[in-house]
């Protein structure tokens, strides 16, 4: 998109994720840009950037929203962009309707809860020359970009193994609501830790490409009874190495880290302190980069700037592939978890081609 061309932006869903996008787009877009919205539940109050409740105003007042009583009426207003931040299971129908109305799409991750009818959306987006973008903001973290550059440079040599660990505690995510009603904890809304923490699956795809096979164990291991998995241990098999991804969103001892080891070196990133350590065996080099003041919001800001100023219609093929590949991997992981078997991704190859 080109910043100066946007006149109207339409938000569907203004929970925590939707309000974050609204805050950032309001910061970046000129004051004359019309902000509008359609909300189905109106449960989430106005939030500060730290997700605490702002009792001094309302969402409508804060963003000077034109509020519509239906999705159709919002699309009839001819927005330039729709920002979709509803529960994951609702994304597809909204995106399809937007594409049918020739409206550019910015969708919160994951694209949906499965890949049903994804080819139809691809056709609509391509036939109508629309922008399609999925919010995988961790790709815009400077140290994630650094890791990708190190891998692609060959400085690590042949990759031997990689480990991604994510542990968080969903009851503390949104103190203003009952976590058991949060989309992440409900199967009917597209929840479960595999879809909710799909960022690490996307990083694996970004770093290493599409795997050959997937195996996964997991389930509802916490004391809270859920109809989704709160814990998953995923193995992605590549031709000459495998990648481990461990996910849990019911763990009070939180962490997020990455370790990638090759024949010539190793990189380690830890979210605590935002530290990246690189070790190279041949010359004994050890480097440490850190930015403890880096904010989670900075990734979203960088992503929004790219969407507004750097994204082109020609990028659609790749953006659609990214949305599809991550869901294909999660789909295979769920199949493996339910069948207790390793799943070949041969049947999914067209999705990443």
Q: Does residue 287 carry a pLDDT above 50? A: yes
> Per residue in 288-326, pLDDT tens?
999 999 999 999 999 999 999 988 888 999 999 999 999
Sign of the Cα pseudo-torsion (191, 193, 195, 198, in order): positive
Residue 273, Cβ density class (10 Å: 0-12 exposed, 13-18 middle, ≥19 buried) = exposed
Structure confidence at residue 4 (pLDDT) = 59
pLDDT confidence tier of residue 79, bands split at 50, 70 and 90: very high
Structure confidence at residue 40 (pLDDT) = 85
pLDDT confidence tier of residue 90, bands split at 50, 70 and 90: very high
Kindly give the residue spans of alpha helices, DSSP state H, lying in the chain. 16-28, 59-62, 71-76, 91-100, 118-127, 142-153, 193-196, 199-208, 296-309, 316-339
Domains, the chain, with CATH or none: 3-136 (3.40.50.720), 138-289+317-352 (3.30.360.10)
Pairing of strands 343-344, 286-290: unpaired
Structure confidence at residue 52 (pLDDT) = 87
pLDDT confidence tier of residue 348, bands split at 50, 70 and 90: low
**Where are any strands of DSSP class E within 195-296?**
213-219, 231-237, 242-248, 250-262, 265-270, 275-280, 286-290
- Side-chain-side CA neighbours of 43 within 13 Å: the count stands at 12
Q: Does residue 149 carry a pLDDT above 50? A: yes
For the chain, give the mean pLDDT: 93
pLDDT confidence tier of residue 353, bands split at 50, 70 and 90: very low
CB 261 within 8 A of CB 226: no
Q: Does residue 352 carry a pLDDT above 50? A: no
* Average of per-residue pLDDT across 156-166: 98
Phi, psi dihedrals of residue 226, rounded to the nearest 5° = -125, 160
Considering the entire predicted model, what is its pTM?
0.94
* Average of per-residue pLDDT across 196-222: 97
Structure confidence at residue 158 (pLDDT) = 97
* Average of per-residue pLDDT across 265-285: 96
* Average of per-residue pLDDT across 248-277: 97
* Average of per-residue pLDDT across 46-68: 91
Structure confidence at residue 3 (pLDDT) = 58
């Amino acid at each position: 998109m080109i910043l100066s061309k946007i006149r109207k932006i339409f938000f569907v869903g203004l929970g925590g994720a939707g309000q974050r996008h609204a805050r950032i787009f309001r910061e970046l877009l000129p004051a004359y840009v019309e902000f509008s919205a359609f909300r189905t539940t109106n449960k989430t109050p106005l939030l500060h950037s730290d997700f605490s409740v702002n009792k001094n105003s309302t969402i409508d007042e804060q963003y000077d929203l034109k509020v519509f009583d239906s999705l159709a009426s919002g699309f009839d207003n001819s927005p330039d962009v729709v920002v979709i931040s509803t529960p994951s299971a609702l994304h597809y129908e909204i995106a399809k309707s937007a594409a049918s109305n020739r409206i550019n799409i910015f969708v919160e991750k994951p694209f949906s809860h499965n890949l049903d009818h994804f080819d139809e959306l691809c056709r609509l987006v391509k036939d109508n020359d629309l922008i399609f973008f999925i919010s995988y903001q961790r790709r815009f973290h400077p140290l994630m970009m650094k890791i990708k550059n190190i891998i692609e440079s060959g400085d690590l040599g042949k990759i031997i193994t990689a480990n991604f660990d994510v542990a968080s505690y969903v009851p503390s995510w949104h103190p203003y609501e009952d976590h058991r009603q949060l989309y992440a904890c409900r199967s009917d809304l597209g929840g479960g830790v595999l879809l909710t923490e799909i960022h690490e699956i996307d990083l694996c795809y970004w770093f290493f490409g599409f795997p050959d096979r997937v195996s996964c164990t997991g389930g509802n291991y916490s004391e809270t009874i859920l109809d989704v998995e709160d814990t998953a241990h995923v193995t992605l098999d590549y031709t000459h190495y495998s990648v481990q991804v461990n996910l849990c969103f019911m763990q009070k001892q939180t962490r997020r880290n990455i370790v990638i080891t090759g024949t010539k070196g190793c990189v380690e990133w830890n979210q605590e302190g935002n530290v990246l350590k690189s070790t190279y065996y041949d010359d004994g080099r050890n480097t440490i980069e850190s930015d403890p003041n880096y904010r989670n919001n900075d990734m979203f800001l960088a992503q929004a700037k790219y969407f507004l100023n750097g994204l082109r219609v020609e990028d659609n093929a790749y953006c659609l592939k990214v949305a599809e590949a991550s869901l294909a991997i999660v789909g295979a992981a769920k199949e493996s978890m339910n069948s207790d078997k390793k799943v070949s991704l041969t049947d999914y190859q067209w999705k990443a081609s």
